Structure 1
Amino acid sequence: MRFQSFGVLLITGIVTCMELVYAQSHADVKKLYTDLFTDYKKEILPTADQSKPLEVGVTFYMASFNSFNEVEETISLTAAVGMNWVDPALMWNPSLYGNLYVTIINPKDLWLPQIFLTNRVDSMNPVGDDTMFFPTIVFTGEVIYSPGGILKAKCPTDISKFPFDSQTCTLQLMPWGFVQSNLLLSSNFDKAQLDFFSAHSDWNLLEYSTSVVK
C-alpha cells in the first residue's frame, strides 16, 4: 500500500467478509457443536489427505495508517488478516440442525493458522495475539478467521525529497513454522481491501497491492 504526505507505503496482506445465517434454536447449535467436536483434534492439520498441503486463502484489510517514523524507519498500521480454508471434519447437513448453515465458535476449540509479520519491530507474536477473534464455520467446512490489530513494521526510508517524500513499505506475512508441503497461502485479491479504511490527514495512500512469494 502506498501513502503520501506526500508519501507512498506499499503493503502486502489479506481477509474475508461473511454473511451469517443463524440456527432455528439453541438446541440445534448445541447438537451441532457436540457432533462436530466430540472427536475433533485441533492439534492435527485439518486435511483429509495428510500428504497434501492445506490451502489457506488470505485477504489483507487496511483499516488505518497510524504513523510513519522516518528516523526509526517504521510504519504503524491498524489492519486485519482474513483467512479462509476448508476443514473436512467440520462439514454437516443443515437439514439435520434446523437449517443451520453457519455458526460462530470459540477459537480455543479449533485448529487455526498463526500468521506472523516477519518484519514486525515490536514483537515476534502472531497477528491478533492479544485479542480473541471468533472464527465462522460454514456447513461446507469452510472456516473464516480474521485476526487483526496494530502492526508496526520496519520500512527503509528515503528522505531525499523531504518534506515532499514518498515511501514504499512492504509487510511480509507468513505462517511461521510451516513449509509449503504442509500449508500454502494464496491471495484472494491482488490488492489490499479498503472496506474499513479511514484516511490519514497528513499522508495519502497512492498505491497498494498484495502478492504471494513462493
Structure 2
Amino acid sequence: MAFSVVLIILLSSDVVFAASLSDTENLMSNLTNGYNVNIRPAVEQLSPVDVSVQLYLKSIIDFDDVQGILSFTTGIRMTWMDYRLQWDPNGYGGLQTLSVPLSHIWLPQLFLSTPATDRSYFAESWSKATLSNTGDVVYLEMALIQSTCDVNVKYYPYDIQSCNTSFALLGYTKTEVNLMRLEESIDLTLYLGNSMWDLESTHVSVETIHGGIQEMLFTFNLRRKNEYAIVNVLLPILFLGTLNAFVFLLIPESGERVGYSITTLLAIAVYMTIIMSSLPQSSDPMPLIFYKLLVDLTYSALIMVVVILNMRLHGKDDNVPVPKSLVSFYLALTCTDCGGKAVSPESDGFTTDQIAKGWVESNSMNSVDAQKVTWKKVSSLLDTIFFVLFVVLSIISFAVFIAVMKVGA
C-alpha cells in the first residue's frame, strides 16, 4: 500500500513538471506582452546595463597581406541581464530556458568598426537568443568576419603582424551600456590553425572613444610561417647574386661575357618586380627585401661595368707595353720571385764574386719575367681577383641582410 502511494506521488510529480507546448506558448506570450524592445533592461535607468562579450575563434581563413584583409570564422557570445524576462519555472511546467527571436527583446547592437566588406552589423532579426528564468540572456552567433589590418612587411619574410578587429556599440554611451570582456584573450578552444600563419597570441581590451561610445578591441598577433618564402624568395636571391660573379670564369674569347652580365642584371630586375607585386605597395615602412634587391641590382650593374673594362684590357695589343705599376702588381700577386732569398757572402761557402754573379743572373731573370707580363695575363689575374671579391661580397651582404631581419623581427 505504501509503495503504491509513493509511485502515485512520483508519477504526479512528473506530470506537473513536464513542460507542454501550451506552457511554452503561455510563457512566450507573457514575456513579450507589453515588452518594449527600445528600452534598456535596467531597473534604475540611470545605471548602465552590463554586456559581456567573448570571441571564440574557429579558423583563420585567409590573411591577404597585400590588401590588408584578415578573414576568419568565429563565434560571438554576448550575455546580459534583463529583469523583465524573469519567470517562475513552476508556473510553466518547470521550463527554465526559452529561445526567442532577437526582434522580440532588447538587443545591444554591435557594429564592426574595421570592416573590409559591406557587412558590418551582427545579430540579424531572425537569429535567436536563449533566455533563462533568472533573466540572463545569452546570444551566440557564428560569423565570417573580414576585417582590415595595418600590414607591416618591413622584415618580410620574418615579419609578425598585429591585426586589430574592433566592435563598437552603437546608440549607447558608457553610462548607458557597459561593455565587458569575459577574458583577457580570445577563446582558442575550437581553433583549427592556419597553414601560412602561426597565431602567437591574442588580446581583448575595451576602449572608450569619442562621445563616450565604447569599442571592444580583439588583437591577433600572427607570425608568418617563412619556410616557403625562404625556399622560393630568399635562396633565389642568394643564387642570383652568387652566379653574377661567375661571369669572370668565362673565357674572354667566347664573346658571352657581356651577354651573361646583361642577362643576370635583367633577371634580378624581373625578380624584383615579381617580389614587389606580392607585397603591399607601401613606403612606410619599406620592406628591407626591396633594399636588398636594389643592392643586388647595383652590384650586378657594377659587375657588368668591370667586365667591359676588363675586356678592353684583354683586347689590347701585346706591342703596347704594360705599365711598370701593373707589372709589379702582377709579379707580386703571382709570386714569381717568391722563392728568392737573401744570401750572405759567407753562406754555403760562396764567394762575393759568385754572389754578385748570382744577383746579376737573378735580376736578369726578373727583367725577363717583366717582359713576359702581357695585357692578357693582367686581365686574367683581374678576373680571378674580381671573381673572389664579388662572391665574398655577395655572401656577406646576404648574411648581413638575414641578420638584420631576424634581429629586427
**Does the 8 Å contact 1:55/1:85 carry over to 2?**
yes
Among 114, 135, 138, the alignment partner of 2:132 is 138
The 2-side partners of 1:57 and 1:64 are apart by 22
Among 186, 191, 202, the alignment partner of 2:196 is 202
**Superposed CA offset, 1:72-129 (max 9, x none):** 1121111122110010100011111111111111222111111111111212631354
Q: Are 2:184 and 1:190 aligned?
A: yes
Provide the alpha-carbon RMSD of the alignment: 1.8
Residue 88 of structure 2 aligns with which residue? 93
Aligned residues: 192
**Superposed CA offset, 1:36-60 (max 9, x none):** 1111111211212111111101111
Match of 1:80, SS? strand
Match of 1:156, SS? coil
State percent identity of aligned pairs: 27
More off after superposition, 69-78 vs 116-125: 116-125
- Give the TM-score of the pair, scaled to structure 2: 0.45
The 2-side partners of 1:152 and 1:121 are apart by 5
**Does the 8 Å contact 1:128/1:148 carry over to 2?**
no
What amino acid is aligned across from residue 82 of structure 1 in structure 2?
R
Structure with greater proportional strand content = 1
**Does the 8 Å contact 2:181/2:205 carry over to 1?**
yes
Residue 17 of structure 1 aligns with which residue? none
Among 206, 214, 221, the alignment partner of 1:212 is 206
User: Once superposed, which parts of structure 1, at least 4 consecutive aligned residues long, lie more than 4 Å away?
Assistant: none
Among 154, 159, 169, the alignment partner of 1:165 is 159
The within-5 A match list for 1:1-214 is 24-123=19-118, 125-129=120-124, 132-214=126-208
Match of 1:145, SS? strand
More off after superposition, 82-91 vs 144-153: 144-153
- Give the TM-score of the pair, scaled to structure 1: 0.83
Q: Which runs of 5+ in 2 are unaligned?
A: 1-16, 209-409
Match of 1:207, SS? strand
The structure whose RCO (Cα within 8 Å, separation 6+) is larger is: 1
Q: Which has the larger radius of gyration?
A: 2
